[in-house]
Amino acid sequence: MVQSKEITKLENSAVKLTVTVDKKDVRSEYNDLVGKYSKSIQIPGFRKGKVPVEVMERKFGDALKEETLGHIMEHAIQEILEDESFEKENKPLPYSTPQVLDEPKVDLDSDLTFSVTYDILPEVKVGPWKGLEVEIPQVSVEKADIDRELEEIRDRNSLVLDKDEKAAAAKNDVVTINYCELDDEGVPEPGTERQDFVFTLGTGGNIYKLDDEITGMKKGETRDVTKQYADDFEDPVLAGKTKKLRVTLTALKEKKLPDLDDDLAQDVNEKFKTLNDLKKDIQDRLEKNLENQLRNRKTNAILEKVLEKTPITLPESMVRLELDARMRNLARRFNVPEEQLVQIFSAGGKGMDEVMDEWRPDAEKALKSRLIVETLMKDLNLEATDEEADKEMEQMAENSGATIEEIKKYYDNENMKEYLKEDIKEKKLFDLMFAESKFKKGEKKNYLDLIQNNG
């Protein structure tokens, strides 16, 4: 069907595909369509299936040509894209729908030429990635980090008991509150009421951050408070706002922490015989986590350096897909529908276009980094074997406490083995990049700051 095709490069990783279809194929497609309809269409004065072609064309000629055009363009593009000789780099992205330029007209006595545009995978010529120098913070697991983990374990294994009726709320108490927002007249705002909300005082585990205001309250007491929130407050709905709130303390409990001894260690897991066993396990886990965090720091630092010397033009469809995915992930994290998330941003004075513009730089950086990684893995011919995948699964089983059979079943049932192989290829790539890089010691940081990305 396709007589000729021509690719023209456009801006922003897009192309124009111009296709010419032989007039014989145009006529054949048109005749087939007329023949099909002539067998089923009913026109007054003619029996079904006996409508003359000239009558069909007189009444429906333009519509028949329009449908012919649609069929030809669809079949021609499909033919081109399925042709193994058609360059892979000129094929459209899966989420980029070809757009027709200057809607063509069908002339049954002439070849048909039409053009479509679509986004393609960006061309990536990776800049220098060897001999780079990056700075990595100096971090180690300290006794304070282990002690903090132990206190969290004590907290999880604590008993929660009612406090004396006359006792005041204090840090680490478990409080139950009713609250609502108030208008300027002190009247509750409809839809803001919340009943029986429970959290531990001093943790900030509440939307309005009312810990300080609740401290000192007694069971049954009600307080009206005014809170002013900074412009960079974590909740965009409250950022830069002043809120009047009414809070009632309905229940007050305190935690009785267990002693830090061998009994606690055995309660945590029967594999621990002594408190020292538990401490050793915590230290091993934190050091493994630190190793992973520092590896991520190294990876990101190197990729940022490479990105500086690797110009990449992203197609808008790719960026939009990434932004939409981030929106869905955020909605899942907050366990709300996307429409409600839009309303939350709107209540904070931001439209979705503004939110997307704020997210865009980080989304583009992530996409470009991913393209660099994929290009290097291809250029370096990195592969992952089944044996390497099996070895990786064995390591997962050892680290997680699951059986190797359970791990393999997951990867087999979910068809995840190819993703695992991609991870292995990435590890190989980053090991190569580490070996070719120079790491200099940065400033000293504590473990918690590193994990929480505080600098």
The predicted-structure confidence for 380-399, as pLDDT tens digits, reads as follows: 999 999 999 999 999 999 88
Cβ–Cβ under 8 Å, residues 356 and 396: no
Please give the residue that has the higher pLDDT: either 44 or 106: 106
Give mean pLDDT, residues 259-283.
96
pLDDT at 344: 76
> Looking up tokens 């010529």, which residue turns up?
125
Three-state secondary structure call for residue 101: strand
Residue 54 predicted with pLDDT over 60: yes
Residue 268 predicted with pLDDT over 70: yes
Residue 316 predicted with pLDDT over 80: yes
Please state the φ and ψ torsions of residue 212, each to the nearest 5 degrees.
-65, -35
pTM for the model? 0.75
Instruction: Classify residue 195 as left (phi > 0), alpha (psi -120 to 50) or beta.
Output: beta
Give mean pLDDT, residues 34-63.
79
Cβ–Cβ under 8 Å, residues 177 and 213: no
Please give the residue that has the higher pLDDT: either 346 or 377: 377
Extract the runs of DSSP E, i.e. beta strands, from 68-158.
Answer: 99-101, 112-119, 133-138
Residue 454 predicted with pLDDT over 60: no
Cβ–Cβ under 8 Å, residues 196 and 154: no
pLDDT at 253: 96
